[in-house]
């Protein structure tokens, strides 16, 4: 009997890089095409967990572990979008400037036997008060493209963050402590 492989239900290069830190190379990577619209009154925590579950289910593959994650940037009950244009990135940074926000990173693991395990990482992050010039320079970098909340902590935005409490890898896109715990609990062989 062969050992089940791991399928990553995400085309995110950041998630692959983070898994590599645990010594894991997914057997395959699947982009899941699901509706990522938040429910009308859906709370950020519930939304992140639902997205991770739905991505794992959409990639279901008999005989493999399916790992999926989703990261949400929230200010209070407000879920910030993934910035796809400069205006959205600028608005996100203006909102985040000088204030604390939460980054919720959910992980779901669907085992070959159909058992679903989940974990959630919640990290508090505070940007320094950003000047209009700092916001313009960051927006001009393009680093924000496709990133929740309009920033990538693993890039130059890290120099604008005054304080963080929680999982740095969770803010990047996959909380490694929680991911490792899920894999270990499911019996996935870790190096």
Per-residue pLDDT, 191: 65
Per-residue pLDDT, 1: 43
This prediction has a pTM of 0.92
Buried b (16+ CB within 10 A) or exposed e, 22-38: eebebeebbebeeeeeb
The answer to whether residues 7 and 28 touch, using CB atoms and an 8 Å cutoff, is: yes
Per-residue pLDDT, 30: 87
29 located within any domain: yes
Burial class (CB in 10 A: 0-12, 13-18, 19+), 159: exposed
41 located within any domain: yes
10 located within any domain: yes
Q: How far is CA 102 from CA 18, 32, 79, 162, 174, in A?
A: 20, 25, 10, 14, 15
Q: Which tens digit of pLDDT belongs to each residue from 135-168?
A: 999 999 999 999 999 999 999 999 999 999 999 9
> Per the residue annotation, which of 33, 35, 70, 113 is the catalytic one?
70
Which residues of the chain fall short of a pLDDT of 70? 1-3, 62, 191
The pair phi, psi for residue 45, each rounded to 5°, is: -60, -50
**Annotated catalytic residue 33:** no
191 located within any domain: no
Per-residue pLDDT, 178: 97
User: What is the domain-level CATH number for residue 36?
Assistant: 3.90.950.10
Domain around 146:
5-185
139 located within any domain: yes
The answer to whether residues 6 and 27 touch, using CB atoms and an 8 Å cutoff, is: yes
Number of structural domains, the chain? 1
């Amino acid at each position: 009997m062969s050992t089940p492989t791991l399928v990553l239900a995400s085309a995110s290069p950041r998630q692959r890089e983070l898994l590599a830190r645990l010594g894991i190379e997914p057997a395959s990577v699947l982009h899941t095409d699901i509706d990522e619209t938040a429910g009308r009154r859906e709370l950020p925590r519930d939304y992140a967990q639902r997205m991770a579950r739905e991505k794992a289910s959409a990639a279901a593959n008999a005989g493999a572990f399916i790992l999926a994650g989703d990261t949400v940037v929230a200010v209070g009950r407000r879920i910030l979008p993934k910035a796809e244009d400069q205006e959205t990135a600028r608005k996100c940074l203006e909102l985040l400037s000088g204030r604390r926000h939460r980054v919720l990173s959910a992980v779901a693991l669907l085992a070959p036997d159909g058992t679903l395990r989940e974990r959630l990482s919640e990290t508090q992050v505070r940007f320094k008060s950003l000047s209009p010039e700092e916001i313009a320079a960051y927006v001009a970098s393009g680093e924000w493209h496709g990133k929740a909340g309009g920033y990538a902590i693993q890039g130059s935005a890290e120099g604008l963050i005054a304080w963080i409490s929680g999982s740095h890898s969770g803010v990047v896109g996959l909380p490694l402590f929680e991911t490792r715990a899920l894999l270990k609990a499911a019996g996935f062989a870790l190096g």
